[in-house]
Amino acid sequence: MNIQKVSIVRINGASSENTTDLIVVEEPVEIRLEYWDVVKGWVEKSVSITMRTPGEDEALAVGFLKTEGIVKGDDIDSAKVSLDNTVTVKLKPHVRPDLQKLQRNFYATSSCGVCGKSSLDALGYTYENLDFAKNLAPLSPELITSLPDKLTTFQRIFDQTGGIHAAGLFDREGNLQLYAEDVGRHNAVDKIAGKALLNHFSTFNKHILVLSGRACFELLHKALAMSIPVVVAVGAPSSLAVETAEKFGQTLIGFTREGRFNIYTGPQRIG
């Protein structure tokens, strides 16, 4: 259940009334990784505790492991949700996860999984397998400005609560391929990554990631982990998001609304 009814007092000028309102549910989930160790046998390790909106938890866990570089497309054996708000992702017996990557932050909040870092170099990220498609015709401004409105047509939980983030993956013709909502903006993107992996989607090196709010570093990082070349945000980007997009050749667009937008990096892809 991702929506909850609560009792409220609604104030309107000098009048008040007792009524009810719908709010989005926010609860913790623990992501656990199960893998084969040649000495110990099957080992289960806690990877992250994150605040999220319940639903699509398997996709969230798998997407998180994917965007953090811990698993690849064919590494997953299964993903199972338990009643105690735990998701266990089991790897295939031959897969040896990079446990050093598990040391990064892995207590994530619903607002930003990586906060308080002052520079991109301090984070130590590399994207050696970036595969942005080249020699494509530029995307039209009309297409870019149409995407936020298309995204809102799928925001079912937002329509009822007004308190949730959304992310959508579009192709170059403006067709929605994958969609997710979550109280955590980075969780919404992880759910998209997880859906792609679990459903054996191919590469996204020609696609556009659309965000219902602002663009922070964590979201650019996750888009880069999926080799997505263009990120379109309704809100503002952060300085580290711009620095990240610039460094890795990604196109970052912000303040996309009412027929206008700002291109912060990669203007060659828009024409």
Concerning whether 115 is annotated as a catalytic residue, the answer is no
| Options 25, 112, 114, 242, the catalytic residue | 112
Query: Beta-carbon neighbour count of residue 172 at 10 Å?
Result: 15
Q: Helix 217-225 and helix 185-198: axis angle, to 10°?
A: 10
Give 193-226 as a 3 state SS string.
HHHHHHCCCCCCCCCEEEECCCECHHHHHHHHHC
Residues 201, 173: Cα–Cα separation, whole Å: 18
CA atoms within 13 A on the CB side of 186: 24
Residue 197's contacts (CB-CB under 8 Å, 6 or more residues apart) are: 62, 63, 66, 71, 73, 76
Q: Residue 210: how many CB atoms within 10 A of its CB? A: 25
Catalytically active residues are 112
